[in-house]
């Protein structure tokens, strides 16, 4: 499928003006929306993620590619819903209470969506009870907690304890990340996974729900 290859390649270049046209062209050519997603957009974002991990791409390139992917998803999303395509999973994301940083979280959200996940972003400065509420309401596969300040890291433990108290801890995998967060800290607070940066967060998410 030359067209899907072209979508993947243009996405890697971050060509956000061309991507929606190519996605529409693929739909007009009766290529199934699920194929456009997996063999075009997701395939392209996987390459971007891999290059980011290898330091061949840096944050600006990743953000431009993510923007292109979102432009493509705007065209594709209604068709995916229409055809009842099963997404890779559902993830609720948020930066914990007291922390107003969101660049890392936003990038994780973009890459997750690029990997075929449905993303529910609660934003920044999110209190524990709001995370619990979102887990109850949306029944996500994964809850992603972000913290960029050492002073707000304890809030991650608080969120996990609140999930336990509400009786919903068993129904969601918790992933934590952010500059000061470490693998050891993640284990200490009872998280299921830790991702050092956005690209590896997608891999971890796939592993957590058994699609890796």
Task: Quote the CA–CA distance of 40 and 204 in Å, as a whole number.
Answer: 21
Q: What is the pLDDT of residue 82?
A: 84
Instruction: For the domain made up of 2-82, give the CATH fold.
Output: 1.10.1240
Task: Quote the CA–CA distance of 12 and 72 in Å, as a whole number.
Answer: 13
Nearest C-alpha neighbor of 180 from the set 143, 212, 154 = 154
Q: What is the pLDDT of residue 197?
A: 80
Predicted TM-score of the model (pTM): 0.78
Task: Quote the CA–CA distance of 44 and 65 in Å, as a whole number.
Answer: 9
| CATH 3.40.50.280 location in the chain | 89-208
Q: pLDDT per position in the chain (212 positions), as tens? A: 799 999 999 999 999 999 999 999 999 999 999 899 889 998 998 899 889 888 999 888 988 998 899 899 899 988 887 887 777 899 999 999 999 998 889 889 988 887 888 899 999 999 999 999 999 999 999 999 999 999 999 999 999 999 999 999 999 999 999 989 999 999 999 999 999 887 788 889 999 988 54
Q: What is the pLDDT of residue 83?
A: 81
Q: What is the pLDDT of residue 212?
A: 42
Please count the residues of the chain.
Answer: 212
- Tell me which of 3.40.50.1110, 3.40.50.12240, 1.20.120.1200, 3.40.50.280 is the CATH number of domain 89-208: 3.40.50.280
| CATH 1.10.1240.10 location in the chain | 2-82
Strands of the chain (E only): list them: 89-95, 117-121, 142-146, 173-177, 193-195
């Amino acid at each position: 499928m030359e067209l899907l290859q072209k979508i993947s390649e243009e996405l890697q270049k971050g060509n956000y003006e061309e991507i929606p046209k190519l996605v529409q062209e693929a739909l007009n050519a009766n290529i199934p929306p699920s194929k456009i997603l997996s063999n075009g957009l997701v395939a392209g974002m996987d390459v971007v993620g891999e290059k980011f991990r290898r330091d061949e791409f840096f944050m600006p390139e990743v953000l431009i590619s993510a923007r292109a992917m979102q432009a493509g998803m705007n065209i594709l999303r209604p068709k995916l819903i229409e055809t009842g395509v099963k997404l890779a999973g559902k993830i609720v994301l948020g930066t914990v209470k007291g922390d107003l940083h969101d660049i890392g979280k936003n990038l994780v959200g973009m890459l997750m969506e690029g990997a075929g996940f449905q993303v529910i972003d609660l934003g920044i400065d999110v209190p524990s009870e709001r995370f619990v509420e979102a887990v109850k309401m949306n029944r996500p596969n994964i809850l992603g907690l972000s913290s960029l300040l050492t002073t707000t890291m304890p809030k991650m433990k608080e969120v996990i304890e609140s999930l336990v108290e509400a009786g919903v801890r068993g129904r969601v995998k918790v992933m934590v990340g952010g500059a000061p967060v470490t693998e050891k800290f993640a284990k200490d607070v009872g998280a299921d996974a830790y991702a050092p940066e956005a690209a590896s967060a997608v891999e971890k998410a796939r592993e957590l729900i058994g699609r890796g």
